[in-house]
Structure 1
């Protein structure tokens, strides 16, 4: 895991059921997902909690699509679907996040 996941995005261990379901769905490890994508996951969970609605993977996947990065790293990232995403990119720059492996 990268330090910024915990420091900036409040990702906690153990992962929530929603986060585990998403990682299983995309068949990925946590460190393969770009920090901005973790931000989308976290923001969606917070929004659902505040609105008192069930956190749903199919609903989340309606708003976002997965992009696979180029080798050798193959970082996965989320972008808004053709219908648009719910949130904009996190303002923090993560150009060098790979140097902060925890």
Structure 2
């Protein structure tokens, strides 16, 4: 895992059931997902909690589509679906996030 996941995005161990379900769905390790996408996962969970609705993987996947990185070790990312997604990218630049492996 990269430090920015914990420091900036509030990702905590153990992962929530929603995060585990998402990682299982995309069949990937946590460090294969770009940091901005962890931000999407976190803010979706917070929004659902604040609104008092169930955190749902099918609802999340309605708004985002998985984009595969360049093989063989590409970073996975999420693109807003045809409707543009729910949230904009996190303002922090993560160009050097790979240098901060935890």
TM-score norm. by structure 2 comes to: 0.98
Equivalent residues in 2 for 1:20-35, closer than 5 Å: 20-35=20-35
Does 2:28 align with 1:38? Answer: no
Structural RMSD (CA): 0.7
Instruction: Provide, for residues 23-69 of structure 1, a one-character-per-residue CA deviation record: whole Å limited to 9, x for no partner.
Output: 00000000000000000000000000000000000000000000011
Q: Which runs of 5+ in 2 are unaligned?
A: none
* Greater than 4 Å deviation, 4+ residue runs: none
* 1:95 corresponds to: 95
1:84 Cα shift? 1.6
Moved more, 73-82 or 48-57: 73-82
Task: Determine helix, strand or coil for the equivalent of 2:79.
Answer: strand
CA distance in 1, matches of 2:79, 2:52: 25
Q: How many residues matched?
A: 102
TM-score norm. by structure 1 comes to: 0.98
CA distance in 2, matches of 1:61, 1:42: 14
Task: Determine helix, strand or coil for the equivalent of 1:31.
Answer: helix
Instruction: Provide, for residues 2-26 of structure 1, a one-character-per-residue CA deviation record: whole Å limited to 9, x for no partner.
Output: 0000000000000000000000000
